[in-house]
Structure 1
Amino acid sequence: MKQLSLDNLRTFVTVVDLGGYAKAGDILGRSQPAISLQIKRIEQQLAAPLFSKQGQRHVVNNDGLKLYKTAREMLALNDGIFAQFQPSGLKGRIRLGIPSEFATTLLPSIVGQFGKLYPEVSLEVTSALSKNLLSAENNNQFDLVMALIDPQAEVEGQLLLHDDLVWVGDNSVPANLEQIALVLAPEGCMYRTRVINTLKQQTQQWRISYTNADLTGITAAIKQGLGISALAKSSVPEQLDIIKHKHLPSLGTIKICLFTGNTPHPQACAKLAEFIRSKLQA
């Protein structure tokens, strides 16, 4: 019976996460040829190439993306088993910065499980606009920051996901989409900027009917029929619906990235980053 090596799968996942063999080798402490041999071993077992060559870069292909999700799940199961039977050894305080919509939809599923596995690690969470979380004045305020980035921007953070920016509303409260009423976060929000810039290029009328920095407030306003909004697809709460209509233009995509600061607790920080990555990409 064929068996995939978890070590090879971990190397594969690291290559995809970091975007290259050399970067993965630096993290894993292996040479680039050694990384290449591990990837070739998986490709031979599966009889399928997992990367395409673009110039000097190895870019994951469709087969690689299919394997990536399953590989992450296998590694999470493996690591979870060891975590249950070994003292975590992780201690300290992790200062996490996260956009408010993800603090509402993503963070609750992480906090409980992470707290049970690593009870001596305390989380201090700050919710704010990505722009503020990454500002120079907050440079030393966080150990880990999850932020939304324009897809064209080159950043040092670790890419978690290319996500669609989608229109959201409440199907039980039909909206007038010929004259669009918008429920948006304040100035500085990437969603707000993208929505306004996109609608300015269209012919239909629009107006901002309500502004609120918190996803709970935005959701409540939408449920009351004050208008529609836009969110990253992975952050849409259960109470809202993704809506599509001929009067609603495409909003494109965004990048969701993780940024690690100069933390005194790198192991705990790396483990929290792993939790966030696995939940977001599930």
Structure 2
Amino acid sequence: MFEVGSTLDLELLRTFQVVAQSGSLAATAEVRHRTLSAISMQMKRLETELDVRLLERGPRGVTLTASGELLLREAQALLRAHDTLVSRFSRERLSGRVRLGIPEDYARELLDDTLPQFMARHPGILLDVTTDTSGRLARGLRARRLDLAVVLDHAAGLEGGETLWHPTPVWAGPAQGALHQEAIVPLAVHPAECPYRQLAADALDAAQRPWRAIFTSTSIHAVEKAIETGMAIGVLDRERVTGAMRALDENDGLPALRRCVARLHFARTIAAASQPAVEALAELLRQRLSGRGPWQWDALSARSPG
């Protein structure tokens, strides 16, 4: 039982944070350089001290209980405050390598401000950034080619993650014309493993509307140009609909699109030397993206004085 005046071991909270991020006691043991039994004992000790169940153990790993989710938020804030205080007085700079994956559709917004600011704050960190479809980013996480990624929806079976914001995908067509009324709907899309491509395919298939991908590109700008010039229609974030396009919906005879979620995912194992750097970048992404996404941050920045 946790009593007034008692103190929690920060190392227990650090281990708990890694367990929450990885969803695996075995992966945590590798990251924390301890045995599996030691990690298990630490988690049992933490649960005993707090007198609450924090983890649900299953065949595919561990998940957080409601109390665990609450503790994770509080523990992250406490550890951030602690580490900031220590670094401020120790003159110790973060170092290590962080391999970040971001969807192509959001690269420009993140590169405009967030990532350059991170590099300026932490010149000792080597940042490697990859842009790709969410499905391929998910594979990169599982193959340990990435440490951290922003991924749309449950790409390629990737589960868990921290919800950052809810994108607003819409049908987009050229400002003039009625391509959406054609017998076989012409689409401009990213390659397979793109959530927006899947949204379009699922909606049209469910409505029994034939479709064909007549333009496929890994570049969001190329997809946008194909829509603007009247080659095809596509699914874009509402904020990407330009003056040369128009948003389409059920009133135009197109099926509704299901909701989409952007989540922050960590690799199941992260090199111990890079863990503080990875968490530092994750925290900046949370600050900038949680609840609003990159578009709303840009709007807020434009309105703020100075």
TM-score by length of structure 2 reads: 0.58
Aligned to 1:201: 206
Distance in 2 between residues matched to 1:70 and 1:86, nearest whole Å: 24
Cα distance in 2, alignment partners of residues 22 and 259 from structure 1: 13
Secondary structure in 2 matching 1:203: coil
Q: Choose which of 61, 68, 80 in structure 1 pairs with 2:65.
A: 61
Query: Equivalent residue of 1:27, what SS?
Result: helix
Q: Which residue among 255, 258, 261 is the counterpart of 1:250?
A: 258
Structure 1 residues 237 and 120 mapped into 2: Cα distance closer, same or farther (>3 Å)? farther
> Separation in 1 of the partners of 2:39 and 2:269?
26
8 A contact 1:167–1:243 mirrored in 2: no
Letter in structure 2 aligned against 1:273: V
Matched, 1:85 2:89: yes
Shift in Å, 1:229: 1.7
Q: C-alpha separation between the residues in 2 aligned to 1:104 and 1:67?
A: 34
SS in structure 2 opposite 1:5?
Answer: coil
CA distance in 2, matches of 1:257, 1:183: 28
Q: CA deviation at 1:81?
A: 2.8
The number of residues matched between the two structures is 263
Which runs of structure 2 are paired with 1:43-54 in the superposition (5 Å)?
Answer: 44=51, 48-54=52-58
User: 2:191 touches 2:218 (CA, 8 Å); kept in 1?
Assistant: yes
| Residue 71 of structure 1 pairs with residue 75 of structure 2 | yes
User: 2: CA distance between counterparts of 1:11 and 1:262?
Assistant: 13
CA distance in 2, matches of 1:128, 1:37: 41
Post-superposition offset of 1:248? 0.9
1:167 and 2:169 matched = yes
2:235 maps to what in 1? 229
2:40 aligned residue (32, 35, 41): 32
Tell me which residue corresponds to 2:49.
Answer: 41
Identity within the alignment, %: 20
Q: CA deviation at 1:19?
A: 1.4
Q: Determine the structure 2 residue equivalent to 1:5.
A: 8
Computed over aligned residues only, the root mean square deviation of the Cα atoms, in angstroms, reads: 5.0
Distance 1:259 1:249, change over 3 A: same
- Tell me the TM-score normalized by structure 1: 0.62
Which is higher, the Rg of structure 1 or of structure 2?
2
Shift of 1:270: 2.7
Shift of 1:238: 5.7
1:233 matched to which residue of 2? none
Partner letter of residue 72 of structure 1?
Q
Q: Which residue of 1 aligns with 2:276?
A: 271
For the residue of structure 2 that corresponds to 1:49, the secondary structure is coil
Deviations 1:69-110 (A, max 9, x none): 343233223323333333345556656444323433445564
1:201-233 C-alpha deviation (Å, 9 max, x unpaired): 323566768755344566788899985525xxx
Structure with greater proportional helix content = 2
Unaligned runs of 5+ in 2: 242-246, 291-306
Does 1:128 find its partner at 2:103?
no
Q: How many angstroms apart in 2 are the aligned matches of 1:2 and 1:209? A: 67
Distance 2:107 2:194 in 1: 15
Cα distance 1:75–1:6, how it changes in 2: closer, same or farther (>3 A)?
farther
User: Contact (CA 8 Å) 1:167, 1:229: kept in 2 or not?
Assistant: yes
User: Residues 34-73 of structure 1: CA distance to partner in whole angstroms, max 9, x if unpaired?
Assistant: 221113323x3xxx53334546954312332233234323
Between the aligned partners of 2:263 and 2:108, the Cα distance in structure 1 is: 19
Quick one: structure 1 residues 32 and 237, their matched pair in 2 at CA, closer, same or farther if it must change by over 3 Å?
farther
SS in 1 for 2:84: helix
- Cα distance change of structure 1 residues 146 and 120 upon mapping to structure 2, 3 Å threshold: same
Matched, 1:100 2:108: no
